Structure 1
């Protein structure tokens, strides 16, 4: 083998797995998701910066996370139950339209010069509800349009594209809100870019339920939570993420730190974690080959906490961004494994509810983290809140992983071999001209 051939082989071995892009429905979803994430990050940066601009308080910035938490929890859990009993495409489209309408509301209140923090918080709460339902439906869609062995690759592509949006969005938003206070421009751009995601949702195939899930309601939600409680692997995959986000997510501190140290340059801080995640995603070919995903998840989250703690001690902007980028790379690995464990461990009739809990944890954890970090900074200092949270994360996750042995010993290949993912028919529907038999065989290159 020549040196060039060896280099090419090694590159293919580690480069991101793009096989899911052969599926048209997934490809459209990926484009729509990436575009909408750019817009969503414009809003996610503009809201806390606008609140800080109006109130000059990190505690009130932390309240942005709190007001979105309760609707996120309720509608995430209930939306997941609905996703198990109705067409997931329809649910995804309706909830996405609702979130889009709220973004227009944020634009309208800013353009009108109202300047009301309570109004902004109310709109954030409503948007959080629609976001929770849409996310539960979207997460349950992926395993219906790709084969089980491609689920890790599909999740990696989704997270990578999403993180690319989280790089571009904050950088653009940082220019708008820092130099021009262009909060209305940020919200308007978000609404415009989100139309691509709406188009992708319209083009999805119909995804009716399999008929085995109970009627959506309190009992079905409890059934989903009981399922998680009885499965140590699933329970731990949620628990470690809650710990990581509640204790080691410093984003509520960004506006104050940027104002005090770097003349308000907040954009690079909001983009830093996503930059690292994008780099990790582009070199993620190895992720799907790891069998001991519990071990890998523990190492990734521990790395996240250490890098966050170190970044809190740095005072040069470039060094903070670099350390947060490394933390973001670890978070990308963590996110892929958590989502993959969930999608391959739970039966399809339970998957909507599992995704509901997933989005409550994934999106709710950072909101609690905003409140925790903002309140701690107000009582102590920004540096203490930032650094201590990262260290607590490392210690708590390491102890939990050692105590819950089934999670530490989790074997991904064994779980996939025993899964009941009924994907052949859905793949055939997503790819016109492809039979269910061909879909079952798969789409390996060559």
Structure 2
């Protein structure tokens, strides 16, 4: 016969956070290739941000010209747009892993070029611009393949969690890379940053080389204009998919405040807080990635994209209205979190519904919106700030973002109506054939548990 323990001797339960506010690590545990891909991206991203700090500083030291530093943006933009589109077509025609591997090798060699130039007694200016253009072109070729690999290495039900984990690694690199890069450049010079970046590429290549081959879909045609036109026709015919592009483009064009943050810091009488203003957006995004367990419980991905984009605009508008510094920082962090939520569900919707043979080309189109939106948004914010002031540029852009996103939601009802539980999904390459309709597929959990959400689970 057993007796209950006295109250003072009963084992105590430790405090446990709900699963919904913890990161969902299922893709990490379930997929070896996802672990390799995540580690490769995290290491490469960290090294890339070191160079992101070092190149402008070296240009400033060599020329003393703000125009010379800003010209790198123009040098990078055209190759990225052109190669992003072609890279999408290429990703649907060749082995995606091999494409990522060789572009990563070439990017590492470009870091060695920067290192060699920094070590000579009188560094030349032209290699910096040449490497900037070539790196941008290679990144444009690589990114569609990276995006298109994800659905091949992660089960469909884990795509939202995988997108959140991938975004968190990017944001972590975006926070730690510039901070440590600044310290490294200040203490050891730009050459040290380039050397560490080259070393990170070597590590990244080692990870990618261990990923299983990702061959093109059967019947894939050669890359070219016809292939690109086929991808564009598919995107135009999918209004829910098209809606994710235009909503993101509107949010970045209208509500991105980065260009005017130095002036906003002056308006807040806190020029010392400029670094904090820059850091809060990625910190907010990182917090969402670190508490992303709830994302797998959301099924209306299009509605989530719309709400997150509107939230991004609303938080930006409120930040532009002023107030104490701590409130502005909090609102900008919330805006970063909303942007992360939008990115997670855009990625999930694309990867769940786009046929494998078209994923590269659709990712190439996404490169256009991902690149053009922020670039045009910086120009818009700067122009409005020059005419009306920084605060007006920020709050008016945020308010317009909310209005335009609302109109787009009304104009594209298929976007908000999209439901992952009822939408048709393309077959996953390598997956077993579906069971006959008369026999439902075996469930991994009891049907009652599969149909009923856990207590406190968010349903959108």
Residue 148 of structure 1, CA deviation: 1.0
- Pair 1:308 & 2:308 matched: no
Match in the other structure for 1:19: 26
The answer to whether the Cα contact below 8 Å between 1:308 and 1:327 also exists between their aligned partners in 2 is yes
Structure 2 unaligned runs (5+)?
Answer: 1-9, 433-440, 446-460
Structure 2 counterparts to residues 252-291 of structure 1, below 5 A: 252-254=259-261, 267-291=275-299
SS in 1 for 2:422: helix
Q: Structure 1 pair 332/215, CA: closer, same or farther in 2 (3 Å)?
A: same
What do the CA deviations read for 1:92-128 (whole angstroms, capped 9, x no partner)? 1111222233334444555555484x76444322211
In 1, the alpha carbon distance for the partners of 2:407 and 2:60 equals: 37
Q: Of residues 76, 80, 85 in structure 2, which corresponds to 1:77?
A: 85
Q: CA deviation at 1:401?
A: 1.0
| Map 1:173-252 → 2, pairs under 5 A | 173-175=181-183, 182-252=189-259
Q: Aligned equivalents of 2:191 and 2:329: distance in 1? A: 27
Cα separation, partners in 2 of 1:86 and 1:366, compared to 1, 3 Å: same
Tell me the distance in 1 between the aligned counterparts of 2:404 and 2:60: 31
| TM-fit CA distance, 1:27 | 0.7
**Cα distance change, pair 339–321 in 1 and its aligned pair in 2 (3 A):** same
Counterpart selection for 1:367 from 369, 375, 389:
375
RCO greater where, 1 or 2, for CA within 8 Å and sep 6 or more? Answer: 1
Q: Which has the larger radius of gyration?
A: 2
Q: Structure 2 CA distance, aligned partners of 1:56 and 1:320?
A: 32
For 2:303, the equivalent position in structure 1 comes to 295
Distance change (3 Å), C-alpha of 1:328 and 1:319? same
Contact 1:93-1:202 within 8 A present in 2 as well? yes
CA gap 1:250/1:407 in 2 versus in 1, 3 angstroms: same
Q: Is the 8 A contact 2:241 2:349 kept in 1?
A: yes
Measured against aligned partners, the alpha-carbon deviations of 1:199-226 in whole angstroms (never above 9, x if no partner) come to 1111111111122222110110111011
CA distance, structure 2, for counterparts of residue 312 and residue 62 of structure 1: 25
| Structure with higher helix content | 1
The answer on 1:409 being equivalent to 2:414 is no
Q: CA deviation at 1:39?
A: 2.0
For the residues of structure 1 that align with 2:103 and 2:396, how far apart are their CA atoms? 38
Q: Does the CA contact (< 8 Å) of 1:132 and 1:360 recur in 2? A: no
Task: Please report the TM-score for the alignment, with normalisation by the length of structure 2.
Answer: 0.81
Cα distance change on mapping 1:127 and 1:14 into 2, 3 Å: same
Q: CA deviation at 1:182?
A: 4.6
Match for residue 322 of structure 1 among 330, 333, 338: 330
Give CA-to-partner distance per residue, 1:384-415, whole Å, 9 cap, x none. 44443333222211211122111111112223
Q: Residue 272 of structure 1 contacts residue 324 of structure 1 at CA under 8 Å; is this kept in 2? A: yes
CA distance in structure 1 between the partners assigned to 2:48 and 2:145 by the alignment: 18
Structure 2 vs 1, CA of residues 148 and 36 (structure 1 numbering), >3 Å: closer, same or farther?
same
| TM-score scaled by length of structure 1 | 0.83
Matched, 1:348 2:337: no
Q: Give me the whole-angstrom Cα distance separating, in 1, the residues matched to 2:382 and 2:419.
A: 38
